[in-house]
Amino acid sequence: GQNIDQPTEMTATEGAIVQINCTYQTSGFNGLFWYQQHAGEAPTFLSYNVLDGLEEKGRFSSFLSRSKGYSYLLLKELQMKDSASYLCAVTDSNYQLIWGAGTKLIIKP
Amino acid sequence: IAGITQAPTSQILAAGRRMTLRCTQDMRHNAMYWYRQDLGLGLRLIHYSNTAGTTGKGEVPDGYSVSRANTDDFPLTLASAVPSQTSVYFCASSAAGGGTDTQYFGPGTRLTVL
C-alpha cells in the first residue's frame, strides 16, 4: 500500500527553528509537495521537490532524499502566524497525488 | 472572481437528500479536483477532471458524481446523502493534471449530514 507518515503534532517556540519530517512509501515517485493549512482555511502551496537536496525559500526550506523516501520542511525564525498544519504530498508512478494526514504545528510565545 | 470559489460555505442536510456543491475557477486551469478532509485523515480525492469533458474516479468516489461541461465549473453531487459524508469538501485546480502541478484550493464547504 501507499503510505505517508508525518508527526501528528509538534510544538515550538516563537523565534526558534522547527523541522517537520515526512517519510513516504509509494509506488514510484514523481515529486513531493508541502502545503500549509491554517485552521478553517484551504491548503496553500509552500514548496515542491523532485530532485534530491535542499530548496530554500525565505524562512522556509524543504529537503528531499529520494533514496531514503524522506523529506523535511524547515521553518526558521518562527512567528505566531506559522501556527498551522503542514501537509506532505507525494506524486506516485501513476501521477496520483497521495496526501499525508498533516502535522499540526503549535507556536508558543 | 479571483481564483477558486465554492458554494455554499456550509450546509446542514438531512440524510437521503440530494445536494450539489459548486466550484468555479477563473484561472483557465485544465485540471480540477474534489477532495474531502476529515479529522486525522489526509485529503482524500473523490473525483478529478484533467480537462473539460473528462472525469475520473479518485480514492473515495462512491456516493458522489461530477461533471465537467466547461473549463471553469466542476460541480460535485451527492445523490442521496448519508451521515458518513459529513466532512469538509475542497475543490482545487491546477494548470495541468498528472499530480506534478501546484494545486490551488477553494475555501471549502463544510457539510453536515444528519
The x, y and z cell numbers of residue A85, run together, are 498544519
Find, among B37, B12, B11, B38, the residue nearest to B22 by Cα. Answer: B11
Beta strands in chain B (DSSP E): 4-7, 10-13, 19-25, 31-37, 44-49, 56-57, 64-66, 76-78, 87-94, 104-105, 109-113
Residue closest to A8 by CA, chosen among A105, A103, A107: A103
How far off is chain B from A94, nearest CA to CA, in Å? Answer: 8
Q: Provide the chain A residues 83-102 that lie in CB contact (below 8 A) with chain B.
A: 87, 89, 91-92, 95-102
- All cell numbers assigned to B82: 448519508
Terminal Cα distance for chain B, rounded: 32
A98 CB neighbours in chain B (<8 A) are 42
Q: Say yes or no for a CB contact (<8 Å) between A99 and B42.
A: yes
With 90 as the cut, is the pLDDT of residue A44 above it?
yes
Interchain contact, B103 vs A99, CB within 8 Å: no
Mean per-residue pLDDT for A48-54?
96
Mean residue pLDDT of chain A comes to 95
Nearest to A20 by CA among A31, A30, A29, A8: A8
- Identity of the residue in B42, B102, B103 whose CB atom sits nearest the CB atom of A100: B42
Please name the residue that has the C-alpha cell 529520494: A66
Average pLDDT over every residue of B29-39: 96
- pLDDT of res. B42: 85
Contact: A43, B44; criterion CB under 8 Å: no
The per-residue pLDDT for B41 is: 86
- A contact test, residue of B9, B89, B102, B109 with most A CBs within 10 A: B102
- In this predicted model, which residue has the larger pLDDT, B30 or B39? B30
Q: How far apart are CA B106 and CA B109, in angstroms?
A: 9
Which chain A residue has the Cα nearest residue B104? A44
At residue A1, does pLDDT exceed 80? Answer: no
Residue A64 Cα, gap to closest chain B Cα (Å): 15
Please give the pLDDT value at position B100: 86
